[in-house]
A and B are shown apart, each in its own frame.
Chain A
Amino acid sequence: MATTLTINGKTHQVDLPDDVPLLWVLRDEVGLTGTKFGCGVAACGACTVHINGEAVRSCQTPLSDVDGPVTTIEGVGTPESLATIQQAWIENQVAQCGYCQSGQIMQAASLLAENSAPTDADIDDAMQGNLCRCGTYPRIRAAIHDAATKLKEA
């Protein structure tokens, strides 16, 4: 059964059982590999994308539950045209292995969309579902504050 999805502003037809999680539709079907697989059980946040602008764990979102436009890390910005939050990530040299960072950025972007000046406590709250085995948390925190400042100035 074909399903129509809007991903990063483009329409895609996918023909997969409707219990396949969005994560695996994106990665193996649509070919958008920026969204990562970490746990498959909503425990790490590596697979975070936005649906209707809200951060969700795509590993726990079956195709049948995708009820609006999807944004992935590729839709946030590109190497040639970086989003403000990505600039903040680069300036703060956040990544180590980098595997968790797509999810971290997607989670942080949704925080900033709701809260233009998050406190440390807000960041703790919003980001605690996103695991980083390399321990980049202090720089993620700094990058979020930085991005908030940049967005205000823009």
Chain B
Amino acid sequence: MESIISIKALSKRYQGGFEALRHIDLEIRRGEILALLGPNGAGKTTLISIVCGIVNATEGEVTVDGHDIVRDYRAARSLIGLVPQELTTDAFETVHSAVSFSRGLFGKPANPAHIEKVLRSLSLWEKRNNRIMTLSGGMKRRLLIAKALSHEPRVLFLDEPTAGVDVELRRDMWQLVRGLQADGVTVILTTHYIEEAEEMADRIGVINRGEIILVEEKTKLMQKLGKKQLTIQLQAPIETVPASLAGLGLDRSPDGETLTYTYDAAHEQPGIGDLLNKLNNAGIGFKDVHTTQSSLEDIFVSLVKDTR
């Protein structure tokens, strides 16, 4: 698939020598929702800041829709909207004037109808004449989103958009992001809520210590790395796993009441039916069986732990 942002061999060394990014290569596809996951200090914000022109890269190249972010910064930046991680807003301006200001800053002529649409979609229209300092934290977050959308960007960066946002609003925000995607906007979001990535993203990238350790389609990722577990509740506790079942990797719980069988989702393997037959043959009766699939969260934790 065609990529809209292309990051090549990008490195960032901050003053003082700290290497925040090491040789990042990343292609972001047109129209996708990409979730960037990574522990605190991994380099997510640094990466976004470089693409948006807030931080200078030490090495490497970035193009946005074919425009180099340094040589052709005007064309590149006018395609991008950024919602920063920190709640940085003016205090005394009104909501409406702040959003109009952003549109002008990005070189677009005034368009009150668009501003109204954006404010309404973020439930800020009623607050349009309020000063920013009178808004709540969640409203300020939405204001930042409104500012980023004011100039109709083709690429939207959301740096932890749902931090400090209540559950209902978070769902509204997801809805909004899906709507943007339907309009062809590419969305890159960072989050520490893994269920958010699981819910929203088409692809997932994991950054740790300045390196991209994985970029994968969400569904493939979950298939590839997701472990499935079959839990079997026995009718009567057993002392040991019978010899006929040894070598299958069955785990007996300490109380002997359940057996668990862990298998890879990728290889729909040594049939569960087979296993259950073997249990029957061994004369082990069971009350209940259920399977669980490891969540993205488990996958993420194990990935990051491996590289620590």
Q: Do A and B bind each other?
A: no
User: Interface of B with A (CB < 8 Å)?
Assistant: none
